[in-house]
Structure 1
Amino acid sequence: MKIIEIKKLKKNYQITFDNFFKLIVDEDTVVKYRLVPNKEISDISIFEKEMELNKLYDKAVRYASYGKSENQMIKYLNEQGMDNTYEFIKRLKKDHLINDYQMINSLKRKGYSYLKLQEKLHYYDFDSDLIENALSSYDESKALDKEFAIGLKKYSKEQSYQKKQEKLYRYLISKGFNEEKVRSRMNILD
């Protein structure tokens, strides 16, 4: 088949062949296969497969935009019927859409307690060695100080000192901090 015309649509291109068969492809496909008028094409199934892969990649990009780990992306792509996810993951990493190290550091900066951070790391399904490394280098005292300051401000209007202490203690425990660390931090207040 021979390409007669390539017409630009809003997002894609419409390719018309000499047998008046029309095919819609995206710009990447046009550039990748150097599609120009009068070019001879033997098999159009390649373009159909390419379009399917591009649609799946667009879905993966939308899914990754919600902050997903590499393992979560692999599971998602497998659920979508993709067998070989390596190329997609490589492309998503190249486009900076998934980056496990950056995501772990972001979670560490959020001020979670050790237990809450551990829970979040398991939720995002990071590799166990990444989780171990992140937890071993995590300093919970900064997060405790930050939450302590927030709690003090939150309960500063309490009349009774005892009631303020109780509420602050419960607040910090509810955030997942260790009781001993909370008590030692609360003794500084005394």
Structure 2
Amino acid sequence: GVPADGIIEDGESSLDESMLTGEYLPVTRRVGEQVVGGSQNMENPLTVRVTHAGNNARVAGIVDLTDRAFASRPRLAQMAARMAHLFVLRLLVVTACVTVAWWFIDPSRMLWVLLSVLVVTCPCALALATPTALTAGHGQLRQRGVLITRADAIESLSNATRVIFDKTGTLTRGEMQLTQTCPLNEQSS
């Protein structure tokens, strides 16, 4: 792969930039043209003068966007955290009532009943399930070449009525198929 952004000083080759651009067809790059770190050289050796490397490279910007998306908490995760907080408050009230009741019913079993109520009603699953599901979804999308730049993008997508794609190659797989034939003249000659 091409390790950094740069300008070709010698050579000509086909580069697969699909990971960065979404275009499935390799592009030919010649002397004087730019290459992007993260693309794959498919044919010939190239001599490239590095212009941007490390944190300044284009691929680092994409990684930054992904990291920013994971750092922000989507509305769904915030709502789950609020619900877990309210659930814990109610749980403490119920636990106090159960403790007082068992103090009068059978004080020797009170501690075990109290612990049982706390273990069975633990909101950990609620607090952990949402971020785990969102992280798994982001990972699956990234493997399919979809870059998520905002954490709440998946949630917002459920309300979308139209989707606009800004370039060719976005929705194709590079496998041409004949899906339908429409003869101009139905009569045989």
Q: TM-score, normalised by structure 2?
A: 0.23
Question: Larger Cα Rg: Structure 1 or Structure 2?
Answer: 2
Q: TM-score, normalised by structure 1?
A: 0.23
Query: By percentage of residues, which structure has more helix?
Result: 1
Query: By percentage of residues, which structure has more strand?
Result: 2
